[in-house]
A and B are shown apart, each in its own frame.
Chain A
Amino acid sequence: MKTRRAIIGDAVALGLGTGVYAISFGALAVAAGLSAWQTQALSLLMFTGASQFALIAVVASGGSAAVAIATSTLIGTRNAFYGFAMSPVLQPRGVQRLLAAQATIDESTGMAARYEGDRDSARLAFWATAAAIYVLWNLGTLIGALGAGLIEDPNVFGLDAAAPAAFLALVWPRLTTWPMRAVAAVALISAVVLAPFVAPGVPVLMAGAAGIAVGLLLGVRAGER
């Protein structure tokens, strides 16, 4: 088992990085016309960044409430699959299950996935990452929402590159075998190729399915890292 301190350190570092792009979320949400309270409610209640960004993008472009809800929900569909993957690792009971659900996001699942075969480390990585990100994501949102008037365009600080960089760092430790690299490459490329042709939210699921199919064909098995 990797030391607890190292796992918690990684969780806090990822939380700080996530907090940085939460600032851009807060600023963009207020620019889209949400109040600071509404912006904060999204980070507290929805707590899944990609869906939050998608929702405010639809609102900013003048889309209907139905389209905003549908788009953010479709993008959040992957969290069901994450829960499905995390359930046997966490084996949550009772109230813990309700907490585990809210804690199920890209980062917590991605960090836990780095410790495949080491359940204690995976559990600690999941909970520590979720806790660090919950606090810092909401703090960043607050700073961004209150400071929205001060920054004309948060992308001036390159914050839009922070999220893909963080996700690259998350999958990186898993890309040590050629089958896993093929899974990642197929998913990445097919998402980009599909994006212009299907509704927002759909490319992630279709590309994810393509990547999983490649992984099955190439025989990625438990224990391979």
Chain B
Amino acid sequence: MWPTILLASGAAYALKLLGYVVPQRVLDTPLLRRITLLIPVALLSALIGLWTFVDGTTVAIDARVPGVLAALIALLLRAPFLVVIVVAAAVTAVVRAQGWLP
């Protein structure tokens, strides 16, 4: 198990470092500036979709969905970060405990 952990961690770090060793002037074009602005929003949104609606490699509507919807409502009500996260976990836990959704 240790070789797996160390190799995977090394690869993860190499990827993180890669973005910083590309020379600045290569980045400095209008197109790339627009792309770098879009990267966090696009990738985080993709992760939200996967972690809400996908289990492994299958699409699944389970107790996470009402939890994330509750988080959305909390955000609309301008709730702070921690409240948004706790509300999502609490709603998911209750829905699961009641057996409404798996």
Contact = CB atoms under 8 A, between A and B. Distances in A.
Nearest to A97: B20
A26 interface: no
B50 A216 contact: no
A73 B15 contact: yes
Interface string B27-67: 11001011111111111111111111110111100011001
A196 B35 CA distance: 27
Interface residues of B, number: 73
Given A171-B44, A192-B59, A166 B81 contact: yes
Contacts of B90: 158
Interface residues of A, number: 98
B81 A185 contact: no
Contacts of B22: 84, 87
Chain B interface mostly helix, strand, loop or mixed? helix
Nearest to B66: A161
Given A13-B82, A87-B19, A188 B48 contact: yes
B85 A77 contact: no
A96 to B, nearest CB: 10
A17 interface: yes
> Which residue of B75, B80, B92 has the most chain A CB atoms within 10 A of its CB atom?
B92
B99 interface: no
A208 interface: yes
A16 interface: yes
Given A65-B4, A191-B47, A204-B47, A215 B59 contact: no
A168 B19 contact: no
Given A85-B36, A160-B64, A20 B47 contact: no
Interface of B: 1-9, 11-13, 15-22, 24, 27-28, 31, 33-54, 56-59, 63-64, 67-68, 71-72, 75, 80-82, 84-94, 96-97
Q: Which 6 A-B residue pairs are closest in the complex by CB-CB distance?
A: A83-B19, A158-B92, A211-B42, A161-B67, A165-B88, A158-B93
